[in-house]
Structure 1
Amino acid sequence: MKQFKLHSFFIALAGAALLASCHKDKVAPTTDKPTAQRAGMYVLNQGGVGHNNSTLTYYDYSSKTLVADQFSAANTAQLGDTGNDLGIYGTKMYIVVNNSNAIYITQAKTAKQIKKITLNQPRSVVFNRNYAFVTSYNGTVSVIDTASLTITKTITVGDDPEQMAISNGKLYVANSGGLLYPNPPTNTLSVIDLNTLTETKKITVQVNPISVAADSYNNIYVLSLGDFNTVPAGLTVVDATTDAVKSKPSVSLGYNVPIYAQGDFIYYPTTTDNISFQIAVYNTKTQTVSATNFITDGTVVTTPYTISGDPSTGEIFIGDAKDYSSNGSVVAFDKTGKKEYSITAGINPGKIVLVNK
């Protein structure tokens, strides 16, 4: 989403070379404006597909130090291949590592491993009422009890499910079909009733849905990559009350399709050439684009790979993958779109989460 971002397999389709790179134990950021109740920021770096070099960067707000791989430091072990998603629920953190077929459950404050769950090509994780839901490329959503840390149910959805979002008592799952190549990808959004934990329907959206976000007005936003040929990437807005498609706003998307909801706004990257990017701001209350570029001070983000934020301050964080093969960065902006600071991340920073004190 899930933030997901340009996912590893689509990077391969786009022909980007993902190579290994070295990290130092601590790297000093430029400047900092820490948030009072936050302990720090985790950044899950995907690394390169097949290079077994995923890392978990940790930036401590108090000491202003950056640990390049907190998972390795806490566990004397490597994360593995293609870390794809990251989430904190209560005192635990869930790290989804796609190509290593692993979900690491750790202590949120230290990243010390509590348990490892093996799952076939897991992709994304969301949480609801003491359950963690994890998509898997075998066409399922696994339901993990967050107390026992065991899989209690497996729900069949569509082909190659990616990101998810929760709204109006339902879980919405993007079925990409991205691995069906050379056959065309699929175009459905599964709807799972969170009371019965069963799929109730599939909604037709634009082809190859990847990233999903929910607003506070019972709307679901789905970014799709298209078929990389004749069908372009696009945005679908779904009414979570009726499960009907409300609109398909005109957008110019590239191969990078992270999406993030905060307050009354949805943030996502746009481009016309896959070279220069802007961060569009979509007003969820008026259902209109309120800004073609959130960044107002001229700061350049080369390759926006993930978008996150801090609702308590209005800050927006953008992970920049740069050239996909060397260390990326995370740039923090205030709510007016002006840069506050940046930190060095690992290769392909794909998910950002904040941990409280």
Structure 2
Amino acid sequence: MKLNWCKLAIMALALGVFTACSEDDEPNGEGPGTETGGGDDTTGGSGDNTGGESVVSLGAYVLNTGNWGGNDAGIQFLDFQTGELSEDLYAAANGEGLGDLGQDLCVYGSKIYVTVSGSSKVVIMDRKCKVLKSIPVATEDGTPVEPRYMAACEGKVYFTAYDGTVSRIDTTSMAIDGKLNLIDAGAQTGYDHPEAITSANGKLYVNISGYSKGKWLAVVDAASFTKLKDIEVMLNPYTQCITAEDGYVYFVSNGNYAGSPSLTPDQYIYGTMQRLDPETDQVEQVCHATYIANAGDKMYILYSEYYLPEVARAYVRDLKTGAESEFIDMADLQSANGLAVDPASGDVYVFDAPYGAASDVHVYGADGTLKRTFEAGMSTSKMVFVTK
């Protein structure tokens, strides 16, 4: 078994089909429609993972990226009351498909925001996936640009794009009210291609992949919407950049695809999770990783190197003690494409997305016990849980 990003490394760099978590604030608007389909077991539930405040998960939006050029991106909803997975909510609500390559999904307030990378647009919807506004993403001369990842804070939704910018959407007017160039004048190769983004301590942190040649985390002051600096990190920070419950920013650099025949062992740079303190902006290396998902003091991690299949593992790291324990057997997955944790039940959802085939989503208990598997759409890449 190899992780999806590794198996399709060259293709993914060109097409930008990898996904990751964005900033997901708790939604408080109208819920999804009642039409559901598929699935047979009830998942989710309630819990007390917030130090006394009860959290209940009602369900989760499921983003299916789709195949490059296939215009088959879609959004489904997994209803925890019935255990059923809906058909494509977007197509049902709008009479057409979402577009080409659904890159990221953010639920903020009463609205859903999706970056559709291959179609060069950001789509804003109500909670039933009915389109409220579609924003084309382009340069000043009208050249289409691929939007990438999103974060939300203080009434704004931010998204990165491959023209080297981060844009700000006002959630009331649903209009872009700011656009910031992250590439300094005269910057050399490796300062472009902003990817995953998160917010912490009044700042935005943006992975700058440089099309696999970058080694920077751009820092933006959210209030003034100005760039503060670049922080040097490990090579190729890409799809993973999150703010965990402990307040630290965790992000993954994919390295240089260690084990490649073009490299000698002393040149290998492995995929690595790093931690940034948003108070000081100091960065430290933590552990090997490709995909990450946080729940309390735990980080669930999938890790693999395409050319070094023997290093693949799925494990849990205690963020306080540094202790690690094995989670599931990676050999049980065909092509892992990410994971998410239900904040109420603690169940872990692992996306298994073989190229060109419908994805399976495997649901594990926090102890790694398989509870259920259900089939979703093409290249499932993200789940956003709806809680109350």
- Smaller-chain TM-score range? 0.7 to 0.9
Separation in structure 2 between the aligned mates of residue 128 and residue 15 of structure 1, nearest angstrom: 30
- Secondary structure in structure 2 of the residue aligned to 1:53: coil
Separation in structure 2 between the aligned mates of residue 318 and residue 11 of structure 1, nearest angstrom: 23
AA aligned to 2:313 is: Q
1:249 alignment partner in structure 2: 286
State whether structure 2 residue 370 is matched by structure 1 residue 339.
yes
State whether structure 2 residue 196 is matched by structure 1 residue 177.
no
Structure 2 regions of 5+ residues with no counterpart?
Answer: 18-34, 47-55, 138-144, 184-191, 264-268
AA aligned to 1:63 is: T
1:226 alignment partner in structure 2: 255
Separation in structure 1 between the aligned mates of residue 103 and residue 6 of structure 2, nearest angstrom: 8
2:109 alignment partner in structure 1: 90
- CA contact 1:217–1:285 (8 Å) conserved in 2: no
AA aligned to 2:272 is: G
Give the stretch that moved more between structures: 274-283 or 264-273.
Answer: 274-283
1:301 alignment partner in structure 2: 333
One of 8, 27, 31 as aligned partner of 2:41? 31
- CA contact 2:291–2:303 (8 Å) conserved in 1: no
State whether structure 2 residue 146 is matched by structure 1 residue 121.
yes
Write out per-residue CA displacement over residues 282-340 of structure 1, whole angstroms, 9 at most, x where no aligned residue.
22223x1422x2238x992332212112222222211111x221000222222222222
- CA contact 1:319–1:349 (8 Å) conserved in 2: yes
- CA contact 2:248–2:276 (8 Å) conserved in 1: yes
State the Cα distance separating 1:343 from its structure 2 match.
1.8
Aligned CA-pair RMSD:
2.8
Separation in structure 2 between the aligned mates of residue 267 and residue 243 of structure 1, nearest angstrom: 23
- Secondary structure in structure 2 of the residue aligned to 1:294: strand
State the Cα distance separating 1:250 from its structure 2 match.
4.3
State the Cα distance separating 1:11 from its structure 2 match.
5.9
1:191 alignment partner in structure 2: 219
State the Cα distance separating 1:95 from its structure 2 match.
1.2
Separation in structure 2 between the aligned mates of residue 218 and residue 40 of structure 1, nearest angstrom: 25
- Secondary structure in structure 2 of the residue aligned to 1:147: coil
- Secondary structure in structure 2 of the residue aligned to 1:73: helix
State whether structure 2 residue 241 is matched by structure 1 residue 207.
no
- CA contact 1:174–1:190 (8 Å) conserved in 2: yes
- Secondary structure in structure 1 of the residue aligned to 2:291: coil
- CA contact 1:32–1:341 (8 Å) conserved in 2: no
2:266 alignment partner in structure 1: none
- Secondary structure in structure 1 of the residue aligned to 2:91: helix
AA aligned to 2:11 is: A
- What TM-score comes out, normalization by structure 1 length? 0.84
Distance 1:162 1:239, change over 3 A: same
2:386 alignment partner in structure 1: 355
Separation in structure 1 between the aligned mates of residue 157 and residue 167 of structure 2, nearest angstrom: 8
- CA contact 1:40–1:60 (8 Å) conserved in 2: yes
State whether structure 2 residue 355 is matched by structure 1 residue 324.
yes
Structure 1 regions of 5+ residues with no counterpart?
Answer: 19-24, 179-183
One of 225, 245, 249 as aligned partner of 1:216? 245
2:21 alignment partner in structure 1: none
2:314 alignment partner in structure 1: 279
State the Cα distance separating 1:26 from its structure 2 match.
6.7
- CA contact 1:6–1:258 (8 Å) conserved in 2: no
Separation in structure 1 between the aligned mates of residue 298 and residue 314 of structure 2, nearest angstrom: 12
- CA contact 1:31–1:340 (8 Å) conserved in 2: no
- What percent identity do the matched residue pairs reach? 28
Distance 1:314 1:278, change over 3 A: same
Distance 1:225 1:34, change over 3 A: closer
2:52 alignment partner in structure 1: none
State the Cα distance separating 1:51 from its structure 2 match.
1.7
Separation in structure 1 between the aligned mates of residue 36 and residue 344 of structure 2, nearest angstrom: 27
Separation in structure 1 between the aligned mates of residue 42 and residue 146 of structure 2, nearest angstrom: 36
- CA contact 1:187–1:206 (8 Å) conserved in 2: yes
- What TM-score comes out, normalization by structure 2 length? 0.78
- Secondary structure in structure 2 of the residue aligned to 1:195: coil
State the Cα distance separating 1:277 from its structure 2 match.
4.4
Distance 1:170 1:308, change over 3 A: same
1:21 alignment partner in structure 2: none
State the Cα distance separating 1:30 from its structure 2 match.
4.5
State the Cα distance separating 1:9 from its structure 2 match.
8.3
State the Cα distance separating 1:27 from its structure 2 match.
5.1
Separation in structure 1 between the aligned mates of residue 313 and residue 273 of structure 2, nearest angstrom: 16
One of 195, 198, 207 as aligned partner of 1:165? 198
Separation in structure 2 between the aligned mates of residue 7 and residue 354 of structure 1, nearest angstrom: 27
1:181 alignment partner in structure 2: none
State the Cα distance separating 1:275 from its structure 2 match.
8.0
- CA contact 2:6–2:304 (8 Å) conserved in 1: no
One of 51, 60, 66 as aligned partner of 1:41? 60
Give the stretch that moved more between structures: 207-216 or 134-143.
Answer: 207-216
Write out per-residue CA displacement over residues 95-114 of structure 1, whole angstroms, 9 at most, x where no aligned residue.
11101011111112x11111
